[in-house]
Chain A
Amino acid sequence: MYERYHVPKNEMPPMGEPFSKSSVIRDARCMNCGRCKDACIFSVHERSAADPRVMADPKSYLCKNCLRCVEDCPQRALSVELSRSYLELGGGLWTPQRVVTIWNEAWTGKVPVFGAGYRGKFSGTGYDSMWTDMSEIVRPTRDGIHGREFISTSVDLGKRVDYLEFDASGRLITKMPSFVEIPIPMILDLTRLDLTAQAKTGLMQAAKALGTMFIAPAEGYLPNGRNGSMVPLFSAGNTASRYDLSNPKMVEMEYSPDWASDLKALKERFGGIPVAVRIQAKSGIERLAVELASSEADVIHILYDEQSQESDGRLAKDSLMAVNRALANVSLRERVSIIAGGGLAAAEHVPKSLLCGADAVTMERALKVALGCHACAVCDKDRCTVDQNGITSDWSKWRAVNLVGAWRDQLLEIMGAMGVREVRRLRGEIGRAIFYEEIEKDAFANIKGGV
């Protein structure tokens, strides 16, 4: 029987004191009138349990920065400021806001609320310079997205044939390529994550719970974490590595100059399932993609760094569009699926990656952040304040499930607003996106002294 895909969520508060993005400060002018209690819908302000006559210290970590309490305070006793520790979070693409948002998503599994409105800038680099076309934003209702209206987030990974051939008797004679369907365009990639065994085990369980897959090296993993959701990754030249799970849905191999022989070996070893080729993005990636698409490879997994860049600086947004266009130009786009990984720091990066040409994305650092990582600009183990030792597999699992669930809900919101009911339809659909460079040109190119 058909069952609608649904991500079960389970509130999983952070270990230790929750992080406070804002410091809500109650100064001596407070007269304990309780108006802030009524003003705050996030329960930042409550009366003290020990003595209801006085207000308890504000629970800053619940604050969404809406400043309603500040507005309503008759004594002007409240102020809200961004905490220092907040401003010190992350680095580059991983802004403090994105880090904290991931934490909150991993905690509650809910769509984030930013509260104080959007106050610009209205453009930035990379994905920040593009918007999805939300012309249908008035149409879907919440009930529509999550209820009556069916929006599919399933994607297929693998080859597609250009056409079908039938014999005279009407029997299909085209040899159907192998592909794998996952209910969400998000795969967990644990390969590059430096995490404890417990934490990784949890992420593996999360992938299973979500019905998606996780990528991990074929060797060296704890057996108890392995399950049918695993995509084993074979390093170059090691296609014969021992791998005791008999039925992976997909396998992945590292790209190397000898990629063709590795690919052949894996095809032989795991006949009938898609093989992905994992490749570091650098200049000329589009030519490589065309080469791979012309081969037996089913999936190209392009890795960007965590700043969403190729190794020599081109942005993933531009890189993916270039790959997509290059493949389309030679009519090979349907021959291969593209997974993009690296630099996905917010839910919006999923649909934006798809719009630029990916079929699916891998989540990496976002998972680590969900487990408490601060995404510092430079990861320095000596200065790291995150204690991974307390992480249990269960906690890790639910944090990841919550995060992915929240991202999928946001994907649904965006698709609903775009009027798109199939996530497959988003792929490469740059016509449904708006690019800052283009509209800037539209607006100013004809003006003397303009762009």
Chain B
Amino acid sequence: MNASSDPLNQSASASPVKPSINSPSVPQVALDPWKTQFGTEALFPLANEGKGGELARAIEDLKIPDLRVISAEGWRALYSRDQADVPDLLRNVLFRSMPGVVVQPFSVDAVSKVLLFATSRRLPIVVRGAGSSSFGGSMPVKGGIVMDMNAMDRVLDFDATKGMVKVQAGMRWSDLDWFLEKYGLMAQSSPSSRFSTVGGWVATGGIGIGSVSGGHLSRWVSELEVITSDGQVRVLRPSDKPFKSLFGSEGRLAVIVSVTLIARPKPKAPFPALVFFDDQAKALRYASFLAQAKTPPLDLTYYSPGKFEAFNRILGRSHFPAKHGVMWCYENKDAVPSCTAVPSGARRADTYLASLIWNERFFPMKFRKLGPGLMGSEVMVPKEHLPEVVSQADKVSRQHGLSPLMEVHFMPGGDGLLLTYYTTDQAKLMRYTMDSFRGLLISSALMEVGAKPYSLGVWNNMFSDQAKEGDLADAKAELDPADIMNRGKYPRLKGRLGGLPAAMFSPGVMGSALRLVNRAGPISAPAIKMISSAKAFDRVGDDMLLRTADECSMCGACVGVCPAYLLTKDERVTARGKLLAARQFTLGDDISKEHAHRIFLCMRCKACEQVCQSKLHLIDAYDEMEKRLEKKHGKDEEEIKRFVTLAEQSPAYDALVERGLVLGASAKAVQGGK
């Protein structure tokens, strides 16, 4: 075959991009030495036993270089869910959420070859980043292949003068910021889960912290490199037609392999403030006004009184009044415009409270600890509907006996992303199950007063927006004619049993049902409440391990800092993975011996504890977990020894240690740093 006509060859030449550094101020060093740059062979060899089935074997038989094929059952199970707590009942009965096989590509070429394979068999393929969304977008509904992009996490190119940085899709936002910080730069905005991947945020939305000044993510992405289902590499620029469609496409168009971003200078002394209002409408009007100003703030967020109450509970003291708060932040003190003047009746909070809230902006999931459990609804709200939607969210939540934790992230111009969270208790099965419907009820009620869907995934599928779907259908026809990308969710959700149960989530069925329930609110809410309070299925007793697992916010902050993950690229070794397993076996569902042994691969570095936003006592939990697992499955001391030896010899681990494991720890732990 002629090399130039071979699409695989073309992509191969594009895959291992050598860092080219254009600015003379940048030292000629590896851009991110702590990252996996050695391909699959540098990974700690893990047993991959288990019922992989025909599909895994078929992919293994292709002997694709730079590709890890994951077939073990316990390992695959991690990929059957995302951050959301969805009662198993919903997930497993309605859908085939267990992937047939999981692949981890380490190069563009490997991505391309897997796509060709999937196309040849018309297999659904679900691309997964950090799994930190909570609407099921990365959850399989018809089995198939899950492609884990986390091993492609490098900086490919960087130009300090232009602020241009090209990263692989599996790069985490926290790592990107760490990289940019050295050059005095930062991302223009980031998702509220900083531990999610760059590719993942492109696919799921693009609105988050800093959007009010940076705008939608698509405004500061200059190039996307994607692989389409025919295995071809396509480079898309803002002028290209499908470019826009990829943002929020939720993995149904193509596999994003690299993203080129334009960073902005990092302010040296950002100046945050917090303004309290008695009246919700006034607070929103004030925020809206700032969002529409000529120079919008770096950050602008509205917080509901419930959010501040939750803060007080976490902090163990009443620092905040239970009022409506608007938090803004400008480049520096001098950049604060006069339009921020506090209106009459409002009050500026103390500086330390503002700083506290501003620093906590990346950790929205820590409130999960209060349940333990956190669920919610996320909707886009056009500015003209904002006051009504927010007050509706409050009203509907309260109808259901929930105290909502609401926040609105603003866009330039004043539109907002409304997050309405509420705590649930995973130990109370009926309440927990009913609570997961309440989120849908809230979303549905908000759509009625003008809100628009943000992320669809599985659970918000019924809210899909017809106009947007049209656009996406065109792009899909162009990029994925084989219809393999995230098949089975859009435009109509499919699942098990001929798709019948899944049809419940379709706009026609569930949409109208929800509307109906909402309209009958005064009657239906107490009815749901009554069902929720049934105690028959509640867990009895208190298991420290299970409680810790329940309190885990599943945010994945621990994944990026975990040296064991660095060496294995197996999420089961991370805190999140371990706690998932802990929940499984404490609830009586045993895990395999092979899986149990993974749990022991740990350097006890405590980095996970340090980044844990729920402040869990993870090391205690590991000790307890290991004690129980050892009793049942023993432990593979030889493997642990080999693992520790590999870690000590691994240059990647060495670089991670040098970096201080936890971002910036070594420089800031001691005055003056090293």
Instruction: Report A's interface with B, CB cutoff 8 A.
Output: 28-29, 31-35, 37-38, 47, 51-54, 74-76
Contact = CB atoms under 8 A, between A and B. Distances in A.
Given A32-B603, A32-B605, A76-B670, 20 more contacts: A29-B669, A31-B605, A31-B606, A31-B657, A32-B604, A33-B563, A33-B653, A37-B648, A47-B644, A52-B640, A52-B641, A53-B603, A53-B604, A53-B643, A53-B644, A74-B658, A74-B661, A75-B661, A75-B665, A76-B674
B666 interface: yes
Contacts of A32: 603-605
B387 interface: no
Contacts of A28: 606
Nearest to A71: B674
Nearest to A33: B657
B281 interface: no
Contacts of B658: 74
Given A31-B603, A32-B604, A52 B669 contact: no
Interface of B: 563, 600, 602-607, 640-641, 643-644, 647-648, 653, 657-658, 660-661, 665-666, 669-670, 674
Contacts of B603: 31-33, 53
Contacts of A76: 666, 669-670, 674
Contacts of A51: 640
A87 B95 CA distance: 71
A74 B648 contact: no
Given A74-B660, A75-B669, A76-B669, A31 B607 contact: yes
A74 B34 CA distance: 15
A34 B661 CA distance: 13
A373 B600 CA distance: 47
A31 B648 CA distance: 12
A35 B657 contact: yes
Contacts of B607: 31
B670 A53 contact: no
Nearest to B648: A34
A33 B660 contact: no
A36 to B, nearest CB: 11
Contacts of B670: 76
B192 to A, nearest CB: 27
B657 A74 contact: yes
List of 8 A-B pairs having minimum Cβ-Cβ separation, nearest first: A31-B605, A33-B657, A76-B670, A52-B644, A32-B604, A54-B604, A34-B648, A53-B604
B131 to A, nearest CB: 25
B58 to A, nearest CB: 37
A417 to B, nearest CB: 37
B316 to A, nearest CB: 22
Contacts of A75: 660-661, 665-666, 669
Nearest to B669: A76
A194 to B, nearest CB: 50
Q: Could you say which of A38, A47, A52 has the most chain B C-beta atoms within 10 Å of its C-beta?
A: A52
B640 A53 contact: yes
Contacts of B602: 53
A70 to B, nearest CB: 11
Contacts of A35: 657
Contacts of B648: 33-34, 37-38
A28 B669 CA distance: 12
Nearest to B653: A33
12 contacts: A31-B606, A32-B603, A32-B605, A33-B603, A33-B605, A33-B653, A34-B648, A35-B657, A74-B657, A74-B674, A75-B666, A76-B669
A206 to B, nearest CB: 44
Contacts of B669: 29, 75-76
A126 B178 CA distance: 59
A28 B640 CA distance: 22
Contacts of B605: 31-33
B117 to A, nearest CB: 38
A47 B606 CA distance: 16
B661 to A, nearest CB: 6
A72 to B, nearest CB: 10
A52 B646 CA distance: 12
B661 A31 contact: yes
Contacts of A37: 648
B617 to A, nearest CB: 13
B666 A74 contact: yes
A351 B665 CA distance: 52
Contacts of B563: 33
Contacts of A38: 648
A32 B665 CA distance: 15
B597 to A, nearest CB: 13
Contacts of B665: 75
A37 B661 CA distance: 18
A31 B657 CA distance: 9
Contacts of A33: 563, 603, 605, 648, 653, 657
A53 to B, nearest CB: 5
A54 B644 CA distance: 9
B323 to A, nearest CB: 38
Nearest to A55: B604
A84 B129 CA distance: 54
A76 B674 CA distance: 9
A42 to B, nearest CB: 19
A275 B605 CA distance: 70
A76 B665 CA distance: 10
Q: Which of B604, B606, B666, B670 has the most CB of A within 10 A?
A: B604
A30 to B, nearest CB: 8
Nearest to A77: B669
Contacts of A52: 640-641, 644
Which of A29, A31, A47: most chain B Cβ within 10 A?
A31
A52 B603 CA distance: 9
Contacts of B600: 53
Contacts of B660: 74-75
A34 B656 CA distance: 13
Contacts of B640: 51-53
A76 B600 CA distance: 26
Nearest to B564: A53
A35 B670 CA distance: 18
Nearest to A48: B604
B606 to A, nearest CB: 6
Nearest to A76: B670
B588 to A, nearest CB: 28
A51 B600 CA distance: 10
B354 to A, nearest CB: 30
Contacts of B661: 31, 74-75
A272 B507 CA distance: 122
B366 to A, nearest CB: 21
A48 to B, nearest CB: 10
Nearest to A32: B604
Nearest to B605: A31
A355 B643 CA distance: 59
A295 to B, nearest CB: 70
A54 to B, nearest CB: 5
A29 B661 CA distance: 11
A138 to B, nearest CB: 36
A444 to B, nearest CB: 39
Contacts of B604: 31-32, 53-54
